[in-house]
């Protein structure tokens, strides 16, 4: 297969490697594993594989983040009320003319009047201003946007070097953050993630959502491949479905994510 298709190397994930990576078959194939201390008990090292070009490759190793350092360092949006159906990006908030009395309707009004509620999407607010909004609003928009991006990708998505290739993550969100500290942030570093973003770890929803946000913001700097765990059947067995049920009280977030699963490409 390597000879017929003029390839130098096949890079894959899927199997736990305690050393983080493993070359096989006269170094024609390498397994990259990016979930350190897999399932919080295996004690393994993780790795990413950096390709400066097709001939130059460098594995970078990293260990699991200690429990005492598992802190969020990403941005937080603070707002008095909530969200608005008229606002999809922070840039739209930045352009609001705030030197005025709060209007009775519109985006400015919604930001100070809206409330989160256990509703399917948007609902009329009993306050008489703003909206009631549910978890579907925050999740569905992101998933739909990324699906539109993925529609434009091919089954074998071309990616230029330099690129950093990553293996399984399996819901280990804080170790994903350590991966980016090791390999460099997006968009400074170009990434390929080879699937298995969810299941087994405690933070599959946060892990996959974060990767989707990066894909939405820098679609040409991060490529997401489908793994065997990006599946409705598998995620109902190995934890992701139950995690969504526990965190949201329903399966809506799981449904939105599985819609994205169906659009992920299979190779790069």
Catalytic residues: 229
Q: List CB contacts of 132: < 8 A, sequence separation 6 or more.
A: 114, 115, 116, 117, 119, 122, 123, 124, 125
H/E stretch holding 11 reads strand 10-12
Query: How far apart, in whole angstroms, are the C-alpha atoms of residue 173 and residue 189?
Result: 19
What count of other Cβ atoms lies within 10 Å of the Cβ of residue 145? Answer: 17
Q: List CB contacts of 127: < 8 A, sequence separation 6 or more.
A: 113, 115
What tokens were used for 163? Answer: 């690129």
Query: How far apart, in whole angstroms, are the C-alpha atoms of residue 209 and residue 191?
Result: 16
Which sign does the torsion angle of CA 16, 22, 23, 25 carry?
A: negative
What tokens were used for 142? Answer: 């992101």
Sequence-ordered strand ranges (E) for 16-162: 21-24, 29-32, 46-51, 57-62, 115-116, 122-124, 131-133
């Amino acid at each position: 297969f390597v000879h017929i298709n003029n390839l130098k190397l096949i890079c894959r994930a899927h199997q736990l490697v305690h050393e983080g990576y493993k070359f096989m078959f006269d170094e024609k194939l390498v397994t990259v594993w990016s979930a350190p201390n897999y399932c919080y008990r295996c004690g393994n090292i993780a790795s990413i594989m950096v390709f400066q070009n097709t001939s130059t490759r460098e594995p970078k190793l990293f260990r699991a983040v200690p429990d005492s350092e598992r802190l969020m360092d990403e941005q937080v949006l603070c707002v008095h009320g909530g969200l608005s159906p008229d606002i999809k990006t922070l840039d739209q908030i930045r352009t609001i003319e705030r030197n005025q009395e709060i209007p009775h309707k519109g985006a400015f009004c919604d930001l100070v009047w809206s409330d989160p509620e256990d509703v399917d999407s948007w609902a009329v607010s009993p306050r008489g201003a703003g909206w009631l909004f549910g978890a579907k609003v925050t999740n569905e928009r992101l998933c739909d946007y990324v699906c539109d991006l993925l529609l434009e990708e091919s089954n074998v998505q071309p990616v230029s070097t330099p690129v950093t290739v990553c293996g399984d993550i399996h819901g280990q969100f804080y170790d994903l953050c350590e991966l980016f500290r090791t390999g460099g942030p997006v968009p400074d570093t170009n990434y390929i993630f080879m699937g298995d973003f969810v299941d087994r770890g405690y933070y599959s929803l946060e892990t996959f959502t974060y990767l989707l946000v990066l894909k939405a913001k820098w679609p040409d700097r991060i490529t997401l491949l489908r793994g065997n765990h990006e599946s409705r059947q598998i995620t109902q067995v190995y934890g992701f479905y139950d995690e969504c049920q526990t965190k949201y009280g329903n399966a809506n977030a799981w449904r939105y994510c599985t819609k994205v699963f169906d659009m992920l490409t299979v190779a790069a």
